[in-house]
């Protein structure tokens, strides 16, 4: 039986309010109030705040510009964290492999005959050439320089002119292995063994995503781009929603930017819950109907009807009398998503069908929660502290009963190209370009800063604060410092 269209007064009264949780409140309806008014009962993961004030220590600007700081990251942080390296659909068959490169390292991630995944350093142990530069399929990795060869599990296979290498023990020539972890269709690696397990590192993310089942999804779109800004500058631009009022004004008619919730857990996981289908408190609601909100959402929401295998655009909604924009959009998308996937989604809340439930896992992995086509971000440092690679994947649920297909390859955009040159992104390309209008000048400003400090808000930028404090722990430096004494 379908859930009631609105939450009861008793249910609303029992839900915690921002005030009762000690959280600051902006003008307009709060996130928790939106959850209480959702047309379906919201899960606890969306109604249980997790916030603590983490102080107001400024951040050294040099953290984003200094080669010394980047070197500390390469030596002390990157080898010791779980990195999102690939999706299962990137290498579905035995022999398939992915080349994953980050922070000066190159790795081969290889599917074995028994379906397991192994990862190893992508460097020939003879003269140091990379064994592979592109993804592919192979049972052996033969070095293109002299022909030294390794099996797909990293064990040594063959060397030419063996007589000239009597000093080498073939039993000790396996490619150096790295740890592999798998969760939710994602493949992670960690270069240095030890530390928390993947499950411990990700917690509580796996519990939150049980409803959203990313393991049933496949990559249908993947665009990467070189960005003229530090990887942390770029990642942090996607850790808060309140820049919308100036950077993305076209989104304000249907985005509750100031209604967003910001929660953190431990050292590695946080979330920004951004409601859609509700007007920004920055706008005057006079004369603005619920239908107007929907119409603006359809124009600029960044998700196309092309994402849905249906005869009609699920965002083409006429709002019935007495219904909110969120309820009307939720009802239409709920039906379309159920039809598309073959799974019953009657329990899905409006929030899970509409909103940007943007999780971050330290240091550079950001999967969206919910049931809509899911966005996944990844950021990697560039060749200098002033550049990085940003990637955007779109995941779609595989229809019930159908075979899991191979994912699409990444389309790469150079530094001189725009996000809009990837037409598959649709209106998202325009939104990202608005962000790009800021990021190069943030990077230049950090170099030019007279104070040498960056200041953060205590609530809306709490995710940035947690991110920077965790980085301090890995680097072993004082909070917010430039690491010069390390």
CB atoms within 10 A of CB 226: 16
**Two tokens, residue 430:** 């325009």
CB 380 within 8 A of CB 227: no
Q: 286 Cβ partners below 8 Å, 6+ apart? A: none
pLDDT digits (tens, 9 = 90+) for 161-213: 999 999 999 999 999 999 999 999 999 999 999 999 999 999 999 999 999 99
pLDDT digits (tens, 9 = 90+) for 14-52: 444 445 555 556 777 889 999 999 999 999 999 999 998
Q: Tell me the backbone φ, ψ of residue 195, rounded to 5 degrees.
A: 90, -170
Q: At what angle do helices 427-436 and 439-448 cross, to 10 degrees?
A: 10
**Two tokens, residue 16:** 């915690």
Cα distances (angstroms) measured from residue 263 to each of 49, 273, 330, 470: 6, 8, 24, 15
Report the pLDDT averaged over residues 229-237.
98
| DSSP-derived 3-state class of residue 83 | strand
pLDDT digits (tens, 9 = 90+) for 94-126: 999 999 999 999 999 999 999 999 999 999 999
Within 13 Å of residue 198, how many CA atoms lie on the same side as its CB?
A: 16
For residue 143, pLDDT beyond 90: yes
Q: 364 Cβ partners below 8 Å, 6+ apart? A: 83, 84, 231, 235, 378, 379, 380
Q: What is the pTM of this model?
A: 0.92
CB 143 within 8 A of CB 110: no
Q: Tell me the backbone φ, ψ of residue 375, rounded to 5 degrees.
A: -90, 145
pLDDT for position 312: 56
pLDDT digits (tens, 9 = 90+) for 439-478: 999 999 999 999 999 999 999 999 999 999 999 999 999 9
Cα distances (angstroms) measured from residue 250 to each of 62, 82, 123, 465: 33, 37, 48, 28
- Average the pLDDT over each of 42-46, 83-87, 91-95, 254-258 and give the range with the smallest value: 254-258
pLDDT for position 21: 53
Residue position matching structure tokens 């249980």: 48
- Average the pLDDT over each of 5-9, 274-278, 302-306, 325-329 and give the range with the smallest value: 5-9
Q: How far, in Å, CA of 270 to CA of 54, rounded? A: 13
CB 350 within 8 A of CB 39: yes
Burial (CB count <10 Å: 0-12, 13-18, 19+), residue 404: middle
In sequence order, what are the beta bridge partners of 293? none
Q: Taking Cα atoms as reference points, which of 273, 251, 274, 277 lies closest to residue 264?
A: 273
Q: Tell me the backbone φ, ψ of residue 265, rounded to 5 degrees.
A: -135, 120
pLDDT for position 25: 62
DSSP string, 401-444: TSPPPPPPPPEEE-TTS-GGG-GGGTHHHHHHHHHHTTHHHHHH
451: DSSP letter: S
In sequence order, what are the beta bridge partners of 412? 224
pLDDT for position 41: 96
Q: 344 Cβ partners below 8 Å, 6+ apart? A: 338
Q: How far, in Å, CA of 380 to CA of 369, rounded? A: 22
| DSSP-derived 3-state class of residue 326 | helix
For residue 307, pLDDT beyond 90: no
List, as own/partner pairs, every contact residues 142-151 make where C-beta atoms lie below 8 angstroms and the sequence separation is at least 24, other chains included.
148/124, 150/120, 150/174, 150/175
The secondary element (H helix, E strand) that includes residue 158 is strand 156-158
pLDDT digits (tens, 9 = 90+) for 359-389: 999 999 999 999 988 999 999 999 999 999 9
- Average the pLDDT over each of 154-163, 251-260, 312-321 and give the range with the smallest value: 312-321
For residue 290, pLDDT beyond 80: yes
CB 462 within 8 A of CB 468: no
Residue position matching structure tokens 């972890």: 181
pLDDT confidence band for 5 (50 / 70 / 90): very low
pLDDT digits (tens, 9 = 90+) for 315-367: 678 899 999 999 999 999 999 999 999 999 999 999 999 999 999 999 999 99
């Amino acid at each position: 039986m379908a859930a009631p269209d609105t939450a009861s007064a008793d249910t609303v009264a029992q839900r915690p309010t921002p005030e009762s949780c000690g959280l600051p409140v902006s003008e307009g309806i709060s996130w928790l109030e939106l959850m209480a008014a959702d047309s379906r009962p919201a899960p606890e993961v969306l109604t249980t705040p997790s916030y603590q004030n983490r102080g107001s220590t400024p951040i050294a600007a040099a953290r984003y510009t200094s080669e010394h700081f980047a070197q500390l990251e390469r030596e002390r942080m990157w080898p010791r964290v779980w990195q999102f390296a690939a999706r299962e659909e990137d290498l579905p068959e035995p022999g398939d492999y992915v080349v994953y490169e980050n922070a000066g390292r190159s790795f081969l991630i290889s599917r074995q005959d028994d379906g397991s995944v192994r990862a190893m350093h992508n460097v020939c142990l003879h003269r140091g050439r990379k064994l592979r530069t592109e993804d592919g399929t192979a049972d052996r990795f033969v070095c293109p320089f002299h022909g030294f060869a390794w099996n797909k599990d990293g064990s040594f296979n063959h060397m030419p002119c063996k007589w000239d290498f009597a000093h080498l023990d073939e039993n000790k020539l396996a490619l150096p292995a790295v740890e592999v972890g798998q969760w939710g269709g994602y493949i992670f690696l960690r270069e240095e063994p030890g530390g928390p397990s993947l499950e411990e590192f990700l917690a509580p993310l796996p519990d939150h995503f049980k409803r959203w089942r990313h393991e049933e999804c496949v990559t249908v779109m993947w665009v990467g781009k070189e960005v003229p800004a530090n990887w942390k500058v770029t990642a942090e631009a996607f850790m808060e929603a309140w820049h919308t009022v100036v950077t993305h004004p076209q989104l304000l008619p249907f985005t509750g930017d100031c209604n967003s919730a910001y929660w953190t857990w431990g050292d590695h996981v946080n979330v920004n819950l951004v409601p859609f289908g509700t007007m920004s408190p920055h706008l005057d609601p006079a004369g603005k109907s619920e239908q107007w909100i929907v119409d603006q959402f359809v124009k600029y929401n960044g998700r196309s009807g092309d994402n849905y295998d249906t005869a009609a655009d699920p965002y083409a909604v006429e709002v019935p009398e007495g219904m909110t924009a969120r309820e009307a959009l939720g009802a239409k998308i709920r039906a379309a998503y159920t039809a598309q996937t073959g799974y019953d989604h009657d329990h899905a809340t409006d929030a899970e069908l509409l909103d940007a439930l943007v999780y971050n896992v330290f240091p550079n992995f950001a999967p969206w929660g919910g049931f809509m086509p899911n966005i996944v971000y990844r950021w990697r440092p560039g060749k200098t502290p002033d550049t990085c690679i940003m990637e955007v994947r779109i995941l779609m649920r595989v229809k019930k009963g159908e075979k899991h297909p191979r994912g699409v390859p990444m389309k790469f955009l150079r530094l001189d190209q725009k996000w809009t040159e990837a037409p598959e992104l649709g209106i998202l390309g325009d939104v990202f370009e608005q962000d790009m209008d800021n990021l190069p000048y943030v990077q230049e400003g950090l170099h030019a800063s007279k104070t040498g400090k960056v200041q953060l808000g205590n609530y809306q930028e709490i995710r940035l604060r947690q991110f920077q404090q965790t980085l301090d722990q890995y680097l072993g430096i004082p909070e917010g410092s430039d690491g010069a004494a390390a």
